Amino acid sequence: MMNPSQHALRDITRRHFFSRCSVGIGSIALASLMAERGAAAPAKPMRNPLEPKPTHFPAKAKNVIFLFMAGGPSQLDMFEHKPQLTALNGKPIPESYTAGKRFAFMDSSHRSDLLATKRSFQQYGQSGAWVSDLLPYTAGIVDEISIVTTCKTELFNHAPAKLFMNTGSGLFGRPSMGSWITYGLGSECDDLPGFVVLQSGPRGPRGGAVLWGSGVLPTTYQGVPLRNQGDPIVNLSTPPKVNPTQQRQLIDAVRELNLKRLVETGDEEIATRINAYEMAYRMQTSAPELMDTSGETADTLNLYGIKDPQESSFARNCLLARRLVERGVRFVQLYDTNWDHHGGPTENLEQHLPEKCRDIDQACAGLVLDLKQRGLLEETIVIWGGEFGRTPMGEVRESTGRNHHIDAFTMWFAGGGFKPGQVYGQTDEFGFGPIENPVHVHDIHATVLHQLGIDHNRLSVRSQGLDFRLTGVEPAHVVKGLLT
């Protein structure tokens, strides 16, 4: 009798042999080929490094979409309704809150006077979650999402904090969450990368490529940026002077010659490379197909708030995210930049935060609803949040703004077995720190991995004498209260 995971493995192997390898090379075919020539057969069955792998325990979810608001969205103007903050506007925050704490911009614009929000808040849905007038569409889906107001991180500068949210460490060289997950689970997609990154906003996120780097894991698992202009993937297009027939001839001839070398040397790396060329060739077709949204209905485009489907935007990226998980891509991360509302000339709370919210609000809600109506939400975890939040205190700058804040900030989660329609955690009267159910970044990581069928303690890789984990060395907890 086979147990269920053996069944799954066999299915995967069959699928691998019949679909992936019909053009490439399967292990059985190779073994017989080698035997014919009297050469050594490779010891292990050849694998695509991204082949799906068994989970530690049955998974609730298969894919992740992380909507990353780079810069640190202001939870106090979006989700956290704090009448006391309004009542004590301009008064210094009691020292008991800030004693011994460090903040960014300590030597310049940081101040300790409380800053009221100018937004109006209302409760929505069955859950009665508070949402401000900046997010009318998100307000409409509060019963689909779990809002966590007590997220907590450790670093208060952008690049280190982004690293922390993505890799569980402020140090460089650690794998990002998407890399860990594709490493742990492989990918169900054989013609697109397993971990894809999309960007919107006026610039790239602070830290750049390291945020989706694979650190100590092979680069096979690093995030691949999918671009809205030019080639969606770097070097995807056949060179201008080459026609499709020539490209296919190239692949075929390379395969034929590589196969001869494989038989000669018995090096299974050559088999992996033959398969990599096949996948590259498939990507050349599948990536442009993915980017071509002309088949989407007007209703769908409206749902996301996409006005011009050709134009690069966060909303279009949300639609692409759905198309990616539909195709089995494991981890999709969207970066939207300029959420750093200090009150500087281009990033303040009065004008620019509302603009940013308009950019993303309808699209985020549309994504959740679209996934739901297609039956994809159950198996897809949608995460919304930034690297940290913002202080209840205001700053002294050109206009109104708040400083970086790490003690309590808001993220939300949808699908993938996260409990819909709840607000989790409670913060104090100013929203400065948690008074109930704090959720550390490592807990978020542990929880996401858990839903994907991975025990965060067991997903590790040995380097420098240590077992590296996404969740680090201090104990991390699966937040059961967030799950159905």
Partner 1 sequence: MRWKLAPWICLAWTVSTVTAEEPISYNRDVRPILSDNCFACHGPDAEHREADLRLDTFEDATTVAIVPGDPDNSEVWARVTSDDPDMLMPPAHSNKPPLTEAQRAVLRTWIEQGAKYERHWSFEPPQRAETPTDSHPVDYFIAAPLAKKGLAPSPPADLTTLLRRVSLDLTGLPLTPAEADAFLQAAAQDPEAAYSELVDRLLASPHYGERWGRWWLDQARYADSNGYSIDAPRQIWKFRDWVIEALNADMPFDQFTVEQLAGDLLPEATESQKVATGFHRNTQINQEGGIDREQFRVDSVFDRVATTGTVWLGLTIGCAQCHDHKFDPITQKEYYQFFAFLNNQDEPTMKVFGSHMDVPSLTAEFKDVEAKMAAYMQDHAVDLAKWEANLTPEIKKSLSAGVTNILDMPVEKRNFAQNRALFASGIGAVGPFRELNDRYTELDTILNQGVTTMVMKELPKPRKTTVFIKGDFTRPAEEVTPGTPAVLHPLEPAHELPNRLDLARWLVSPQNPLTARVIMNRVWQQYFGRGLVETENDFGMQGTLPSHPELLDWLAVELIEQQWSLKAMHRLIVTSHTYRQSSADRPELQEKDPDNYLLARQNRLRLDAEVVRDAALAASGLLSRKLGGPPVYPPIPDGVMNVGQVKRVWAVSPGEDKYRRGLYTFVYRASPPPSLTVFDAPEGFSTCTRRIRSNTPLQALTLMNDSGFFEFAAALEKIIVQEGLETAFRRCTTRAPKPDELAVLSKLDTLTAARVLLNLDETITRE
CB-nearer residue toward partner 1: 87 or 209: 209
Class of residue 66 by CB neighbours under 10 A (exposed 0-12, middle 13-18, buried 19+): buried
Q: Which residues contact 71 (CB under 8 A, 6 or more apart)?
A: 158, 337, 338, 339, 340, 341, 347, 386, 387
Q: How far apart are CA 464 and CA 466, in angstroms?
A: 5
Bridge partners of 394, per DSSP, are 402
- Residue 131 C-beta: closest distance to partner 1, Å: 29
- Residue 477 C-beta: closest distance to partner 1, Å: 13
Of 15, 36, 56, the C-alpha closest to 262 is 36
- Residue 403 C-beta: closest distance to partner 1, Å: 8
Q: Is residue 40 within 8 Å of residue 266, measured between CB atoms?
A: yes
Q: What is the DSSP letter of 479?
A: -
- Residue 284 C-beta: closest distance to partner 1, Å: 8
Q: How far apart are CA 160 and CA 156, in angstroms?
A: 8
User: What single-letter amino acid sits at 287?
Assistant: A
Of 289, 288, 320, the C-alpha closest to 304 is 320
H helix intervals, 292-328: 298-304, 314-326
CB-nearer residue toward partner 1: 274 or 303: 274
Q: How far apart are CA 436 and CA 438, in angstroms?
A: 6
Q: How far apart are CA 28 and CA 23, in angstroms?
A: 14
- Residue 108 C-beta: closest distance to partner 1, Å: 7
Within 13 A of 405's CA, how many CA atoms are on the CB side?
33
CB-nearer residue toward partner 1: 140 or 344: 344
CB-nearer residue toward partner 1: 71 or 431: 71
Q: How far apart are CA 226 and CA 196, in angstroms?
A: 6
- Residue 296 C-beta: closest distance to partner 1, Å: 24
User: What single-letter amino acid sits at 425?
Assistant: G
CB-nearer residue toward partner 1: 204 or 354: 204
- Residue 127 C-beta: closest distance to partner 1, Å: 35
- Residue 320 C-beta: closest distance to partner 1, Å: 16
CB-nearer residue toward partner 1: 84 or 247: 247
CB-nearer residue toward partner 1: 28 or 435: 28
CB-nearer residue toward partner 1: 84 or 291: 291
Q: How far apart are CA 206 and CA 165, in angstroms?
A: 13
